[in-house]
Amino acid sequence: MATVKEIYNFIDSIAPFNTQEEWDNSGLLVGDENAEVNKILFALDVTSDIIEQAKTYGANLIITHHPVVFKPVSTVLSDSLIYKLVNNNISIICAHTNYDKAVNGVNDILCKTVGFNSFNKVENTCLNIGSFEKTISTENFVNHIKNVLDCVVRYNSLKKEIKRIAVCSGSGSDYLTLAKELGCDALLTGDASHHAFLDADEMGVVLVAAGHFETENLAIEPLMNKIKEEFNVSCELAMQESPIITI
């Protein structure tokens, strides 16, 4: 039976934790690295509901993309996620920006889902650059993203032909300037602010925000499948939806 540490080491081999961004907090964040793993539950985020699902499933390890601890905590009370994890002997490994950047990681999976025939990584960033064989209008590009990701799309009103696209899952609008410098016609990401859309207009870049959940959750099952292939351990994908409701 595999240990938490062995699972951690395998993830480290395909998405090295030392490649995470300086502000990130990926790794084994709660639990015992020497514990034998009974079952693993996979999710994008840790929530109270996810912990309940893990208990019902009998999992003593949860693997997520988003870290359960981002900022320093001054208390760990009974209603906190950390307390609930420790109290139920559940360890948690979080693979965040290291998995974003990894070969066949989140951004690569997003590029393939979008249908790019070719794409490459921008060194020392969480950014990919993808290209279509032929140009596509803003409207057609947005409709394509809406269909393949089954999501609600927000975008600026800039009308242009698009071929070269910067891609960053999650919150990537900070890469607008770099995308422009790299000759991209558009930036596809998850979240973007009001002012980011204004900046995109001024830069002449089409900014497409397709949802934080929708641009990242698609990479959870592939990670689960890799671990299932490597270890003889029961794995399950959590039932989880975007916390944002749209009407």
Q: What integer pLDDT is reported at residue 247 of this predicted model?
A: 78
Res 241: pLDDT: 94
The pLDDT tens digits of the residues spanning 187-245 come to 999 999 999 999 999 999 999 999 999 999 999 999 999 999 999 999 999 999 999 98
Give the mean pLDDT of 28-41: 97
> For all residues of the chain together, what is the average pLDDT?
96
Please give the pLDDT value at position 101.
97
Whether residue 246 is predicted with pLDDT greater than 90 in this model: the reply is no
The secondary structure of 30-69 as a DSSP string is ES-TTSBPSEEEEESS--HHHHHHHHHHT-SEEEESS-S-
Do residues 77 and 86 touch, judged by C-beta distance below 8 A? no
Binning pLDDT at 50, 70 and 90, where does residue 117 land?
confident
Q: How far apart are CA 165 and CA 131, in angstroms?
A: 6
Instruction: Evaluate whether 131 touches 115 at the Cβ level (below 8 Å).
Output: no
Task: Determine the average pLDDT of the residues in 35-63.
Answer: 97
Architecture (CATH level 2) of domain 103-212: 3-Layer(aba) Sandwich (3.40)
Q: Which fold has domain 4-99?
A: 3.40.1390
Residues 142-163 have pLDDT tens digits of 999 999 999 999 999 889 999 9
Confidence of residue 105 (pLDDT cuts 50, 70, 90): very high
What confidence tens digit (pLDDT) does each residue in 174-186 have? 999 999 999 999 9
Q: Can you read off the two tokens belonging to residue 38?
A: 């009974």
Instruction: Give first-to-last CA distance, the chain, whole Å.
Output: 46
- Residue-level pLDDT at 229: 96
Q: Dihedral of CA 219/220/225/231: which sign?
A: positive
What is the pLDDT averaged over residues 35-64?
97
Instruction: For the chain, give every residue range classified as CATH 3.40.1390.30.
Output: 4-99, 103-212
Q: Compute the distance between CA of residue 224 and CA of residue 241 in angstroms, rounded to an integer.
A: 17
Q: Residues 66-98: pLDDT tens digits?
A: 999 988 888 888 889 999 999 999 999 999 999
User: Would you state the pLDDT for residue 31?
Assistant: 96
